Amino acid sequence: MSDQKVSVGRIVHYVPNGSTEHLAALVTKVESGVGVDLTVFDSDSMFRAFSILHDADCGESTWHWPERD
């Protein structure tokens, strides 16, 4: 999915540190060369994550495009 462009309002997945869970997240800011800011949603709350880098391999503390079936 490398042809997609990240922009404010896009839905992505975030992998928290110490977890393999993929959480839904909304891109709230794009910082060229630095990463993106996200509002991340889990089953009962939400939180902010700042300067998060993209990783197609789904590493910890990174974002990636949602998987497609």
Give me the mean pLDDT over the 30-52 stretch.
95
As a three-state string, the secondary structure of the chain is CCCCCCCCCCEEEEECCCCCCCEEEEEEEEECCCEEEEEEECCCCEEEEEEEEECCCCCCCEEECCCCC
Quote the CA–CA distance of 50 and 60 in Å, as a whole number: 14
At residue 2 the predicted structure's pLDDT band, cuts being 50, 70 and 90, is low
Tell me the per-residue pLDDT of 16-30, one tens digit each, with 9 for 90 and over.
Answer: 999 999 999 999 999
Q: The whole model's pTM is what?
A: 0.90
